[in-house]
Amino acid sequence: MSGKVIGVRRWVAVTVLAAALVTGGIFSVWAVNWSGHAVFGAAKIPVKMATNANPVSLGGFTNGFSSSVKPALPAVVNVSSSKMVKPSSQQMQPFFNDPMFKQFFGDQFGEQFKHQQQQPEREQSLGSGVVVSPDGYILTNNHVVDGATDIKVALSDRREFTAKVIGTDAKTDVAVLKIDATNLPALTVGDSSKVQVGDVVFAIGDPFGIGETATMGIVSATNRGLGGAIEGYEDFIQTDAAINHGNSGGALIDLHGDLIGINTAILPGNGGGNQGIGFAIPINMAHSVMDQLVTHGKVIRGYLGILPETITPALEKSFGLQDNAGALVGDVTADGPASRVGLKRGDVITVLNGQKVEDANDLRLRVSQMAPGTSVDLKVIRDGQARNFNVTLGELPEKDAKAPVTEGAGSSLDGVQVETLTPDIAQQLDLPTGTHGVVVGSVDPSSPAAEAGLSRGDVIQEVNHKPVTNAHEFEQAVGSGKGPVLLLVNHGGVTAYIAIEGR
């Protein structure tokens, strides 16, 4: 009997000890200072941002996450915009020009109908926004207000204001609005550089205009770039929290209730709805853009003067590289910062200011966040040899060329028809004077070249690093057409490398 009692007592003691250790571990994890989140790289601007968020306690999660979400809801607003658009009548033109139509209705009726069809119409859109200052500054997406002539902001207390656009930045899809109001509920700005995969997050917006809605998920990925498929500068937080239509410009918050991102896009399935793949602009990026828009009215970015390409496996093999890290220089702007120090097409930038360059998106982002006039050190691989360059950045022009998306997945140039580029053809293609090469007349859609991104109107200037100025030189450079081929292609005046690999 005593043996059983001792066994029970030991079991109870072990259980109590385990419970104490687990409880201590939990509270040690949660013993974190949730306040005072500094925004990386944000300059001081005359906007009073929300601060001093209340720390989250374990007791607040007894019945769920309302202690995180509820305080944030009033700071997420509905943004409705409208603009006048002129519909196209091109689809109706063949119908109006049909002889049978003219025979029965005459020319006058057709002209009247076309005139009615061409009258401007009002186009409306709905989105969301986030109040980040009690004084009425609101962050949202550029695409929510782009071209709008009238913008209304509806608060949770049903008040409605006409908003003024302080500034927009299409390259990051960020817009800053201002309403004439004070003492507004505002979200505390967090630090998105501390966000990690697996963190619990909440997406808040006004989907479909039905009212404030919160969805929960986790951070699926950070520093996500999609090759310019969504924005010019991409460094997204990816989440599986539902971001439906109308959530654009809404808030992505963490467990503390702090703003860590601005919801901007989803990858929809065949049904067009949420598939658990949503993207938010990191608040550090959005806040930095906001600072410049408020202070300067525009975003001023550093400019290297190259067109960087991400190195695909096919390009890696074609250039004889050790790995696919770095950014391939596809084009160099004449008399730009890079050109003045001697950077060339085919160079591979592997290190920027002592830090490894992952890919073209990484290089583009880091350079864009530097001020014009900044001196940067580059490590470059050229013909297998490492070289060092020091470049003083310029200011990114208002209209800069976007890097083409090239997928190296081909095998040969079968199915590609070319002809010598003449001055007349060059003029039709709006190419710079003196451009030489062969122009692509047609590409078989099922060919490896088409899969790699070659298209009609492209001008091939090099084949496997050999310049070609006419169709004969092109045929000689291609040879049998078998095996991998590296092309330098001029598309609309901008060059890029395309690797077409053997099957």
In whole angstroms, what is the distance from residue 259 CA to residue 136 CA?
16
Helix H or strand E encompassing 102 = helix 99-117
Smallest CA-to-CA distance from 222 within 395, 362, 41, 415 is with: 362
List CB contacts of 20: < 8 A, sequence separation 6 or more: none
In whole angstroms, what is the distance from residue 363 CA to residue 352 CA?
8
**Intra-chain end-to-end CA distance of the chain, in Å:** 79
Smallest CA-to-CA distance from 309 within 453, 136, 424, 425 is with: 453
In whole angstroms, what is the distance from residue 192 CA to residue 224 CA?
13
From the candidates 248, 318, 412, 447, give the one annotated as an active-site residue.
248
List CB contacts of 207: < 8 A, sequence separation 6 or more: 213, 244, 245, 246, 247
Contact between residue 396 and residue 301 where contact means Cβ atoms under 8 Å apart:
yes
Let me know if 80 is a catalytic residue.
Answer: no
Cα-Cα-Cα-Cα dihedral sign, residues 348, 352, 355, 358: negative
Smallest CA-to-CA distance from 470 within 415, 423, 419, 434 is with: 419
403: exposed, middle or buried (C-beta count within 10 Å: 0-12, 13-18, 19+)?
buried
Let me know if 143 is a catalytic residue.
Answer: yes
Q: What are residue 254's DSSP bridge partners?
A: 201
In whole angstroms, what is the distance from residue 356 CA to residue 347 CA?
15
From the candidates 135, 169, 173, 362, give the one annotated as an active-site residue.
173
The amino acid at 144: V
**In the block, which residue shows the tokens 């859109």?**
125
Backbone angles phi, psi at 305, to 5 degrees: 85, 35
158-164: long-range contacts, CB 8 A cutoff, minimum separation 24: 161/136, 163/79, 163/138
From the candidates 80, 125, 133, 143, give the one annotated as an active-site residue.
143
Strands 355-356 and 348-352: antiparallel
Count helices and strands (H / E) in the chain: 12, 27
471: exposed, middle or buried (C-beta count within 10 Å: 0-12, 13-18, 19+)?
middle
Contact between residue 80 and residue 152 where contact means Cβ atoms under 8 Å apart:
yes
**Number of other residues whose CB lies within 10 A of the CB of residue 432:** 9
Let me know if 240 is a catalytic residue.
Answer: no
286: exposed, middle or buried (C-beta count within 10 Å: 0-12, 13-18, 19+)?
buried
**In the block, which residue shows the tokens 């009033």?**
74
List, by residue number, the catalytic residues: 143, 173, 248
